[in-house]
Amino acid sequence: MSFWDKVSPVYDILQVVNRRSFRAMAEGVRQVVPEGAKVLECAAGTGILTAAAAEKAESVVCTDLSLPMLEKARKKCADMGFDNVSFEERDIYNMPDKDETYDAVVAGNVLHLLDEPERAVKELARVTKKGGKLILPTFLNADKDFSTSLLKIYRVLGFRSKEYTFDEFRAMLERCNAGRMKITRINGFMPAAFVVIRKG
Ligand SMILES: C[S@@+](CC[C@H](N)C(=O)[O-])C[C@H]1O[C@@H](n2cnc3c(N)ncnc32)[C@H](O)[C@@H]1O
């Protein structure tokens, strides 16, 4: 059982402390997903950002490596009445889709967890149409006592993350060379970056 399988029942409760950041991330996703878009979401977790993506989209393929997380996302979307979301177990490094399948690809709060974030971004860019959007909101190093203590507790449970600074995260994304990038800061308990890359 992975860390994320174990944490799935309480993930939304633990994220209450980050609600300001999540609100900003969801609002950002809502705004930048184009009307009628075909959307892929990777590492969707319990679906906190899925509903924001589904509002204007024609369809959302909601994916994650953890089945218990996906089950939470499925229930959340059903409770909210979305019938344009489908669910699939998928590894972010390996999408079964043809090149340039989606108008927008969302991967929230996962790149800082991966051993090879650049490989993941390249895979997401591969399945994004030319001119389409990669939407990558990601928690960054908080550098605050309380949130650092919370991370220590997570680590005991098996949580591993890179804890990028804003500049390190931007530099990693620039190395991917996926397109024109807009990156902004989100302030909150855990600060974050909101990233939209327009595929060139
Ligand atoms: C911090 S949660 C983020 C969930 C959601 N996107 C959010 O912002 O609340 C990280 C998620 O990444 C998923 N994950 C980790 N490694 C993955 C991989 N290689 N492929 C797909 N999902 C992965 C975990 O299962 C977990 O649901």
Q: Answer whether residue 50 shows pLDDT above 70.
A: yes
Average pLDDT over residues 11-21: 87
Closest CA to 26 of 105, 106, 86: 106
Whole-number pLDDT of residue 174: 97
Report whether residue 113 contacts ligand 1, using a CB cutoff of 6 Å: yes
Backbone angles phi, psi at 17, to 5 degrees: -65, -20
CATH of the domain at 77: 3.40.50.150
Query: Percentage of residues in the chain with pLDDT exceeding 90?
Result: 78
User: What is the token pair recorded at 165?
Assistant: 């600074």
Mutate to test the pocket of ligand 1, among 61, 110, 124 (most ligand atoms within 8 A of CB): 110
- For the Cβ of 65 lying below 6 angstroms from any atom of ligand 1, the answer is yes
On the CB side of 59, CA atoms within 13 Å amount to 7
Quick one: pLDDT band at residue 1, thresholds 50, 70, 90?
confident
Q: What is the pLDDT of residues 53-84, one digit of tens each?
A: 999 999 999 999 999 999 999 999 999 999 99
Are 127 and 95 in contact by the 8 Å Cβ rule? The answer is yes
The tally of domains found in the chain comes to: 1
Torsion sign, CA atoms 189, 16, 91, 56: negative
Tell me the residue range of the domain where 168 lies. 3-199
